[in-house]
A and B are shown apart, each in its own frame.
Chain A
Amino acid sequence: MYFQPEIETMPREELRKLQLERMRESLRNAYENVPLYRERFDAAGVTPDDLESLEDIAKFPFVVKQDMRDNYPFGMFARENADVARIHASSGTTGQATVVGHTANDLANWGDCFARGIAMVGGDENSTIQVSYGYGLFTGGLGAHAGGEAMGCTVIPTSSGNTKRQVQMLKDCKTDILACTPSYALLIADTAIEMGYDPATEFQISGGIFGAEPCSENMRQEIADKLGIQYCDAYGLSEIMGPGVAMECAERGGLHIAEDQFYCEIIDPETLEVLPDGEVGELVITTLTRECSPMIRYRTRDVTTINAEPCACGRTHRKIGRLLGRTDDMLIIRGVNVFPSQIEQVITEFPEIATQYQIILTMNGPLDHVELQVETEPDFPIDEVRRLEDLRNRLAAALKSNLQVAVDIKFVEPKTIARSEGKAKRVIDLRGENQ
């Protein structure tokens, strides 16, 4: 089932031709309308006319998030206000917010990209989609909403929060597809179960489109099982568009990039060299159709691979693998690089431990100290101190061998770790503070 079969199954050669055409157009748009690109291209001695093949994009300079901050708010817009239909902004929790503009065409393309994901989980115009991403400057809510409308679905714009009501809508309105963050999907599932329902068998829901935060293989399995759904991993970022840049089909072998809209490269984050398909590195995206905020070789900081093998679903667009981490999220603990996703992966191998966790980083004298707070599953025999201590020792040993870093494990009472309604806060780094 495809949303735009002629595009999604376009023969590779034809697709690459389309990409090259659009890439030239996008480079011109950036060069002619955004002073930053003109300065950078001139400094690098390249013009859009130097692009003769897709691989020639490697001659062009990168842009990074800091460039967007430096040009806040509208310095990287390639369109005048009259043509800008909407703006979105990143949360700005780690610095100056970044603002991205969308023309009416940009918004229409976005809806199409997301709608392809709806088709991937079996949705069509008869489907009801419940959007439990937050609405607002965050791209999740309105992006999923646009996808639902593009497909012609019935859209339920619940936004995030008021979880019992989410469950009620899910049940009463016979929602087919849920779109939200994975941690919120799990909270909705657990809330439904607490309310006495078995959503896997009692609710109509059959698909879920989840993104905007990392999610381990085991956590996604738990969500899929509890809700009884096909899980579609949605990739996107507000700087590039929002959810829909890449979507996971039923084959579960990765996320199909919307290659008619975006050109992706994998680079070595140290040497900045382009790596061949299949190698692990930082994802770099060039937008091909974005009118207001064209991004040329945007460094996403996301670490993944590109898979060019043909997919059994029939789509010809290449796939990115599961995100292996974010170069920004990488923790350096006693000199060792650690991704929170590695810790999560180890935790999920212990069925006795609940999937919620929190990492507290402090200084113990000159050394980094890592405390991992976890909860046991409700049916764990808490009366047996030995079993608890044995579990703690096994988990500590597994973490030590996986991360090469010693971790102190602390069992906490149920619900001590906040269930998130948006992006889960997994790491609390207190190392910079006086203790």
Chain B
Amino acid sequence: MISQLTVFLANEKGRLAAACRTLADADINMKALFIADTADFGIVRIFCDTPARAVEVLGQAGFRASLTPVIAVSVEDAPGTLADLLGFCQGASMNIEYGYCFCTADGKAVDVLKIEGDGAEAVLAEAGFAVLAPEEVYCVDPA
């Protein structure tokens, strides 16, 4: 499982900038960032290096941040790869809470899924999907 950094932000000017500045000042590099917004708050989901340290740094700066386990699957950057993955999940009765995708420089893409319950990762790996390990996505926190 990949540790995704989740940050709760009030819908107020400058809060996202402040969160990013806090990570920047701690020299933490981000790979991807997605925002889920509601009328009065936003949930920011981030892939970054040393996610546990990022939670600590944000917490000290007064942000509410936590780690969320998600599944990351490496696919070809080509038409249909996401559809194939989601088709499999549907067939396996997996309930997807949310997901997002991003391309990487090597002609590949990463599909990130938050799937309800445990065990989905093993099922995907067994079916031949290239489930990514944390160290393949970001610099892991020192043990």
State the A residues within 8 Å of B (CB): 376, 378, 381-386, 388-389, 410-416
Contact = CB atoms under 8 A, between A and B. Distances in A.
Main secondary structure of the interface of B (DSSP, over half): strand
Nearest to B4: A383
Interface residues of B, number: 19
Given A381-B66, A383-B45, A413-B10, 19 more contacts: A378-B64, A381-B68, A382-B8, A382-B66, A383-B66, A383-B68, A383-B114, A385-B36, A385-B43, A386-B97, A388-B41, A389-B38, A413-B8, A413-B9, A413-B63, A414-B62, A414-B63, A414-B64, A416-B10
Contacts of A412: 10
A411 B62 CA distance: 15
Given A384-B97, A385-B36, A411-B40, A376 B64 contact: yes
Contacts of A411: 8, 10, 40-41
Interface string B37-50: 01011010100000
Nearest to B37: A385
B45 A382 contact: no
Interface string B1-45: 000101011100001000000000000000000001010110101
A96 to B, nearest CB: 38
Nearest to B69: A383
B10 A383 contact: no
Nearest to B40: A410
19 contacts: A381-B68, A382-B6, A383-B66, A383-B68, A383-B114, A384-B97, A385-B43, A389-B38, A410-B40, A410-B41, A411-B8, A411-B41, A413-B15, A413-B63, A413-B64, A414-B62, A414-B63, A415-B62, A416-B10
B81 to A, nearest CB: 25
A354 B4 CA distance: 25
Contacts of B66: 381-383
A416 B62 CA distance: 9
Nearest to B38: A385
Contact of B64 (A382, A385, A389): A382
B64 A383 contact: no
Contact of B6 (A376, A383, A414): A383
Q: Which of A376, A384, A389, A413 has the most CB of B within 10 A?
A: A413
A389 B43 CA distance: 12
Contacts of B40: 410-411
A382 B10 contact: no
Contacts of A381: 66, 68
Contacts of A413: 8-10, 15, 62-64
Contacts of A389: 38
Contacts of B6: 382-383
A272 to B, nearest CB: 45
Nearest to B65: A382
Contacts of B64: 376, 378, 382, 413-414
A382 B63 contact: no
Contacts of A383: 4, 6, 43, 45, 66, 68, 114
A239 B51 CA distance: 56
The 7 closest A-B CB pairs, nearest first, are A383-B68, A383-B6, A382-B8, A414-B64, A410-B40, A413-B10, A411-B41
B111 to A, nearest CB: 18
A269 to B, nearest CB: 38
Contacts of A382: 6, 8, 43, 64, 66
A385 B97 CA distance: 10
A191 to B, nearest CB: 15
Contacts of A385: 36, 38, 43
Nearest to B67: A383
B129 to A, nearest CB: 23
Q: Which of A382, A410, A412 has the most CB of B within 10 A?
A: A382
Contacts of A378: 64
A376 B66 CA distance: 13
A374 to B, nearest CB: 12
B7 to A, nearest CB: 8
A385 B62 CA distance: 20
A76 to B, nearest CB: 48
Interface in B119-136: none
A386 B114 CA distance: 13
B46 to A, nearest CB: 11
Contacts of B36: 385
A406 to B, nearest CB: 15
Contacts of B114: 383
Contacts of A388: 38, 41
A231 B121 CA distance: 50
A356 to B, nearest CB: 14
A416 B41 CA distance: 13
A414 B40 CA distance: 15
A361 B26 CA distance: 39
Contacts of B10: 411-413, 416
Nearest to B6: A383
Interface in B55-74: 62-64, 66, 68
